[in-house]
A = this chain, B = another copy of it.
Amino acid sequence: MAAVSLIGLEGLPLVQPGDDLAALLTDALERAGLQLTDGDVLVVAQKIVSKAEGRLRRLTDVVPSPRAVELAGIVRKDPRLVEVVLSESRDVIRAVPNVLIIEHRLGFVMANAGVDQSNVGGDEEVALLLPEDPDGSCRRLREALERRHGVRIAVVMNDSFGRPWRNGVTGVCIGASGLPILLDRRGAPDLFGRALLITEVAVGDEVAAAASMVMGQAGEGIPAVLVRGLRIDGREQPALALIRSRQYDLFR
């Protein structure tokens, strides 16, 4: 029977810059009576990784450029926040009132470059940025957890993205280590031996969305989800493999 468990890890302390996430997650697993085993996938929310890595920017230290001031007028946001967003971006995709969609320096097309003012510690003047290298963060966390627990696991980092055509945000994969996140099914026969027309499945985003579904059950109180029982064959890929290259994109 194909069965997958999604177990939310609650009760993590508020993460501070410099915190050892592997240690905090190990404590949370122990409190939940769980032991990591081979094949587990641990999904962590971007926010706790960013906080642990100190990816905070004090808005009082930010001097907005003329371009940020102009853009802030269009999107009706704080010019200092827009300056931080631009510092994390390599292109502006859409800018209309209340909406600023950019291409993040790593290639993600997303709102506000993932820069977030909520839940960063009660200080309205602080912005939280995406990790410098989310795939690298996942790899380091995976290696630290594997050393501690003597197991082989995967780590996925998720964030919530909006998307065209559909309302609401969903969890997406912005970092990964140890998991094939984009399955190539080109040529795989279907039940009748006919070659499938679907080319690739973004399993990494499906894992991220599944974890987000559990994280959302307790407001913001579940920053990590253990995914157990997932069997995916293939070679490991970074989350950057999920980004469509410009030449194949019809919507920029």
A contact residues vs B (CB 8 Å cutoff): 1-8, 10, 14, 32, 94, 96, 99, 101, 108-109, 116-119, 121-122, 124, 160, 163-172, 182-183, 188, 190-203, 205-207, 209-210, 212-214, 216-222, 230-232, 241-244, 249-252
Contact = CB atoms under 8 A, between A and B. Distances in A.
Contacts of A206: 170-171, 209-210, 212-213, 216
A160 B94 contact: no
18 contacts: A2-B10, A4-B213, A94-B250, A101-B250, A117-B194, A117-B197, A122-B194, A163-B163, A163-B164, A166-B242, A167-B241, A168-B199, A170-B205, A170-B206, A190-B220, A191-B220, A206-B210, A206-B216
B8 A3 contact: yes
Nearest to A207: B213
A166 B170 contact: no
